[in-house]
Amino acid sequence: MKFIDEVFITVQSGDGGRGCVSFRREKFVPRGGPDGGDGGKGGDVILQSTLRRRTLYPFRFRRQFKAKNGAHGQGKKKTGKNGEDLIIEIPPGTLVSDTDTHDLLKDFTQPGESLLAAAGGRGGQGNARFKTSTKRAPRYAQPGEPGQFFKLKLELKLLADVGIIGLPNAGKSTLISVISSATPKIADYPFTTLNPTLGVVQPDQEESFVVADIPGLIEGAHQGAGLGIRFLRHIERTRILVHLVDASNIDPQNPLASYETINGELAQYNPLLTEKPQILVLNKMDIPGTEQIAEIFQAAVKDRPVLMISAAAHQGIEALKLKIVEHLANSI
């Protein structure tokens, strides 16, 4: 399934049914009078978050949504049937905004939340409603009110406790496959991960948490370079970040280059991202020669703690899990 995290749709509620102009025509009922019924209400369009949806992929094939119209009123004061509501299911973490006004209508942060996106038109009143002592045979009724029409933007921001960030090929996909049951594509070339991957981690004797593998960022990502800002938005939802650095690719002359590049992109996209707690991790420590590089890196970051792991060799993984649990407990 292709990962879709931004779509534009149109929603239109149902029109109300028109009222009926009718007069009783029954045997033994002289001067029967008006008996036109009211029109039915048009159907609403409702957005509802559900765990059955993980992405906005279904909207790739359908962008226009219209609820049913209300039925027209009938004689014998019969009210027309209300139009059926249209419920559109979206994944939790979706922001809904009006494309014309750019107003944020709702931020769906939990499953089971709903938003009335377009209210159905009210049904018109039949001529029986207009009978008075002086107007005994009204020959008119109300038309139904038209439904509402809106253009909406749906933007998905993944809901995860932990976001794994780093340059392409830093080992993010390998790490999430080791600490969770997620099975992302893993290869030895940059930009292997094209879509975010979610995984659930269950530490021993601790509450589980959700980890997101964010596709690799490069310098200029906030301006659209590489995979661009498309996936930077998903970092905004996370509580803490695991900053993964490839120890085998560190330049001894400038050991903090990759680390500063990623943090610079976060700051330029949204300065608040730099305030999120970060766990700094050196990966691929099983490769010969990385111990000396790690010492240089640790000296460069000074007093900041650095975890040493090898996701491929499953080294230091339990220590990383414990550190994540500790940070999550402190971020509540």
Given this model, what pLDDT does residue 49 score? 94
For range 69-94, the mean pLDDT = 94
Indicate the DSSP class of residue 332. Answer: -
Given this model, what pLDDT does residue 70 score? 97
Residue 31: which residues within 8 A CB-CB, separation 6 or more?
none
Given this model, what pLDDT does residue 189 score? 42
User: Cα–Cα distance between 290 and 312 in angstroms, integer?
Assistant: 15
Indicate the DSSP class of residue 11. Answer: E
The answer to whether the beta carbons of residues 33 and 23 sit under 8 Å apart is: yes
Pairing mode of beta strands 149-156, 6-12: antiparallel
User: Cα–Cα distance between 122 and 124 in angstroms, integer?
Assistant: 7
Range scoring the smallest mean pLDDT among 39-48, 130-139, 207-216: 207-216
Pairing mode of beta strands 104-107, 114-118: unpaired
Alpha-carbon separation of residue 324 from 10, 84, 241, 317 (angstroms)? 42, 48, 9, 11
Beta strand spans in 157-289 (E): 162-165, 197-201, 209-213, 240-246, 278-283
Domains and CATH numbers, the chain: 1-156 (2.70.210.12), 162-330 (3.40.50.300)
Fill in the amino acid letter for 247: A
Residue 162: which residues within 8 A CB-CB, separation 6 or more?
201, 209, 210, 211, 212, 238, 239, 240, 241, 242, 324, 328
Report whether pLDDT(293) > 50. yes
In this prediction, residue 182 has a pLDDT band, given cuts at 50, 70 and 90, of low
**Mean pLDDT over the full length of the chain:** 86
Given this model, what pLDDT does residue 216 score? 60
The answer to whether the beta carbons of residues 159 and 93 sit under 8 Å apart is: yes
Higher per-residue pLDDT: 228 or 11: 11
In this prediction, residue 245 has a pLDDT band, given cuts at 50, 70 and 90, of very high
The answer to whether the beta carbons of residues 223 and 174 sit under 8 Å apart is: no
User: Cα–Cα distance between 4 and 242 in angstroms, integer?
Assistant: 24
Token digits of residue 294: 């790690």
Pairing mode of beta strands 162-165, 240-246: parallel
User: Cα–Cα distance between 233 and 237 in angstroms, integer?
Assistant: 8
Given this model, what pLDDT does residue 225 score? 43
Given this model, what pLDDT does residue 138 score? 93
Report whether pLDDT(3) > 70. no
Higher per-residue pLDDT: 216 or 100: 100
The answer to whether the beta carbons of residues 122 and 41 sit under 8 Å apart is: yes
Q: Give residue-wise pLDDT tens across range 191-208.
A: 444 566 777 787 776 777
Pairing mode of beta strands 64-66, 6-12: parallel
User: Cα–Cα distance between 206 and 80 in angstroms, integer?
Assistant: 57
Given this model, what pLDDT does residue 255 score? 92
